[in-house]
Amino acid sequence: MPEGDTIFRAARTLHRALAGHVVTRFETAYAPLARVHDDTPITGRTIEAVEAHGKHMVMRFSGDVTGPDASLSRAASGGPLSARLQFADAPSRIGRTMAPDSVLAIRHADAGRVGGAWRGPLALRTHMRMHGSWHIYRPGERWQRPPRQMRIVVGTADFVAVGFNVPDAAFERGVDVGARDTIAALGPDLLDPAFDAAEAVRRLQARSAMTIAEALLDQRALAGIGNVFKSEVLFEGGVEPFAVVGTIAEERLTALVAIAWRQLAANVAPSHGYGRRTTGRLAPSEGLWVYGRGGRPCRRCGTTIAFAKQGFGARPTYWCPRCQTP
């Protein structure tokens, strides 16, 4: 699953390519998103920003719609329209029977609607889950993935952004992002310039009955950590992944949060090369301390790295039995 650093770099790339440009093309394999586009055209709007919020990406569109009735953009008429449809990840075609794992939400409100169209700012929130990704192409450039994997296309005169196998997508009113949606429930974002480390520690302490590995994965405690950074942060902090949060001293929790912030920040730095690294070593095969290295010797002490499936979803965890203590 893409972690906070991957989403941050993707959002940064999309922002550089798309921000400030008018949408000339919008396509989607998802009927609910297509319905929003039909009622509330995405084409003609300006892409204001592409942002990362933990593992979520938000593409913001202006409320300025080109066309003969654009001057009516702040008027209000009609009643509220709201629908919530459930979809499983990566459907191969519209209309497939789907499980309620991920949700595509259409959120409209009456204020600002003209003839059924929401004229205020819109936002497209996406989550990649396990296999989703965003690519950027020049118009007419050959895609690196087959068209059947396309879920969303947002194009401008100069670039085309394609979301492949994106399982979780929702259009929201711009004002609702971070206020009344999934993002509002997230903990402090490790890659937010305003990251609140003290609040992150407080939220971890509130999960006193959880193991520290599971608590670090809880996006409501702090946002951005996935399986890789979970294992890497705990190794560098010397904390055993099965230690219960309530038994860990505040100073150690504070140190873990600081390590998490440093590791993620280092992996989105402009000078950072290809591949995720936590060891500081340049060789791709030496980039990580423990993740994916079960059965091999610890890079510090030589002890065999342990592996176990842990917590909800049986998420993989790697650690050094000697370097890490409860």
Which range of 62-76, 103-117, 160-174 scores highest in mean pLDDT? It is 160-174
Q: Please give the average per-residue pLDDT across 49-73, as a whole number.
A: 74
From CA 23, how far away is CA 160, in angstroms rounded? 10
Q: Please give the average per-residue pLDDT across 305-309, as a whole number.
A: 97
pLDDT digits (tens, 9 = 90+) for 21-33: 999 999 999 999 9
Q: Please give the average per-residue pLDDT across 12-24, as a whole number.
A: 98
> Is pLDDT above 80 for 64?
no
Please report which confidence band the pLDDT of residue 20 belongs to, taking 50, 70 and 90 as the band edges: very high
> Is pLDDT above 60 for 182?
yes
Please report which confidence band the pLDDT of residue 65 belongs to, taking 50, 70 and 90 as the band edges: low
Among candidates 120, 125, 149, which has minimal Cα distance to 45?
120
Q: Please give the average per-residue pLDDT across 192-215, as a whole number.
A: 98
pLDDT of residue 99: 29
Q: Which amino acid, residue 326?
A: P
pTM value > 0.75: yes
Q: Which of the pair, 65 or 173, is modelled with greater confidence?
A: 173
pLDDT of residue 270: 83
Average pLDDT, the chain: 85
Q: Which amino acid, residue 290?
A: V
Among candidates 109, 146, 97, 122, which has minimal Cα distance to 26?
122
Among candidates 321, 2, 61, which has minimal Cα distance to 191?
2
pLDDT of residue 117: 59
pLDDT digits (tens, 9 = 90+) for 111-127: 344 344 567 899 999 99
> Is pLDDT above 50 for 303?
yes
> Is pLDDT above 80 for 183?
yes
Q: Please give the average per-residue pLDDT across 161-185, as a whole number.
A: 93
Question: For residue 269, how many other CB atoms are within 10 A of its CB?
Answer: 9
> Is pLDDT above 60 for 201?
yes
Q: Which domains does the chain have, with CATH numbers?
A: 4-185 (3.20.190.10), 197-319 (1.10.8.50)
Torsion angle in degrees (nearest 10) through CA of 214, 312, 191, 244: -10
Is 322 in contact with 303 (CB distance < 8 Å)? yes
Q: Which helix (H) or strand (E) holds 150?
A: strand 150-155
Q: Which of the pair, 283 or 231, is modelled with greater confidence?
A: 231
Length of the chain: 326
pLDDT digits (tens, 9 = 90+) for 102-160: 333 333 333 344 344 567 899 999 999 989 999 999 999 999 999 999 999 999 999 99
